[in-house]
Amino acid sequence: MGMHTFSAIPDIEPDREAGIETTATALGERRAYAYCAACWLLAALVFGLVHPFFAAVLGIYPVVVLGIVASGVDVSEAYWWYPAINTLVGMAVTMAGLWVLLYG
């Protein structure tokens, strides 16, 4: 939900003009950022119930959103960072899972 809404933030104005309703158009830019950060924070907390490592890794997402908002980086540019972030987070979670399977 966080990534889906985040990916719609750059399109808020064109979507509104075209009559397309998305979570981002309903919330507006500032609240959409807050919603994305909240979704990712909740995911980190829930996964933290499985293991604190997952909370730490997934906690990167809300921190990145807050950094984007605080620094004023254009969301259209920041959106393209996410394939790399998703790859690194997925790799970390996968490698941790494999480590646990192999070394208990």
0.85 surpassed by pTM: yes
> What was the pLDDT predicted at 47?
92
> What was the pLDDT predicted at 104?
78
Yes or no: domain 2-103 corresponds to CATH 3.30.310:
no
> What was the pLDDT predicted at 90?
95
Query: Residue 73 half-sphere exposure, CB side, CA atoms within 13 Å?
Result: 15
Alpha helices per DSSP H over 9-81: 12-18, 23-27, 29-50, 52-58, 60-71, 75-78
H/E stretch holding 28: none
> What was the pLDDT predicted at 88?
96
Average pLDDT score over the chain: 95
Count CB neighbours of 56 within 10 A.
Answer: 13
| 35-79 tens-digit pLDDT | 999 999 999 999 999 989 999 999 999 999 999 999 999 999 999
Taking CA atoms, 53 is separated from 18, 44, 62, 78, in Å, by 43, 10, 16, 25
